[in-house]
Amino acid sequence: MYRCRILTGVSQTPGMRRRLADLSGTNPDRLSGISDGIFSVGMTLLVLGLVVPAVKDTSTTEGQLWEVLRGLAPHVLVYTMSFMTLGIFWLGQGTQLSRLARSDRNYMWIHLVFLFSVTLVPFSTALLANYFWLKIALIEYWLNIVLLGASLLAGLAYGLRANLFQEEGRREMAFLMRGRILIAQALYAGATALCLIFPTWVSIALIVLIQLNYVLAPRIPFIHRF
């Protein structure tokens, strides 16, 4: 009986009647499945922001078409930035889920909040792409990143407290993941704060560089620690 309770992730006082809520959310595979689906849909929806204006007539010249494509440059940049954002958090969540020994209902709901923030990324991307020169659009995009990081960190903290992760390597995993989230959020916040002094494109460029660091993970002294 004790072994059964451990496997289901349910801690129950002897003699206490279990609720249906105690039995739900105990299968980590379901969380992995819905996460992959939402991330794939979110990444696909990003490209819908790259709308090519229709050619009015056959008299359109190469130069005019080139001007149209140049006008799409901010959309392409923000689209690329958002694709990297989702890729980074997809890997981060996948790393956390791969260390699970079991799950429970509370952990599932924390990650559903995380996935809710994933679904907001296409909207934040479209807003920033269309109003990239406005601070409000950039700050809204940054708040979306904050929600992603905070919910992922909350899942880690709860999982550690509820003893949901595998015992082997748990301390190292917690240290590395917590450090990565906190440092990344500090870098994103610093880059966004610069929009109060400089044009927003400076902040956007720095965010892209921060993301490239996490995508490429270069083995450069000091930098690779981030």
131-189: per-residue pLDDT in tens? 999 999 999 999 999 999 999 999 999 999 999 999 888 899 899 999 999 999 999 99
In a domain, 16, yes or no: no
Question: Is pLDDT above 80 for 45?
Answer: yes
In a domain, 9, yes or no: no
Q: 């917690």: which residue's tokens?
A: 174
pLDDT of residue 21: 52
Q: In sequence order, which residues have a C-beta less than 8 Å from that of residue 201 and are 6 or more positions away?
A: 132, 133
Q: Which residue has the higher pLDDT, 6 or 104?
A: 104
As a whole number, mean pLDDT of residues 117-123 equals 96
Structural domain including 35 reads 25-49+73-225
pLDDT of residue 156: 96
User: How would DSSP label each residue in 8-75?
Assistant: HT----TTPPPPHHHHTT--HHHHHHHHHHHHHHHHHHHGGG-PPPPP-STT--HHHHHHHHHHTHHH
pTM of the prediction? 0.83
In a domain, 204, yes or no: yes
> What's the total number of domains in the chain?
1
pLDDT of residue 69: 80
Dmax over Cα atoms in the chain, in whole Å? 82
In a domain, 123, yes or no: yes
d(CA 128, CA 139): 9
In a domain, 11, yes or no: no
Q: Could you tell me which residues are beta bridge partners of residue 165?
A: 100
End-to-end CA distance of the chain: 45
Structure token digits, residue 4: 């059964």
Q: How confident is the model at residue 221 (pLDDT cuts 50, 70, 90)?
A: low
In a domain, 63, yes or no: no
pLDDT of residue 142: 97
Q: Which residue has the higher pLDDT, 20 or 200?
A: 200
With beta carbons less than 8 A apart as the criterion, state whether 12 and 4 touch. Answer: no
7-31: per-residue pLDDT in tens? 444 445 555 666 545 555 567 788 8
In a domain, 2, yes or no: no
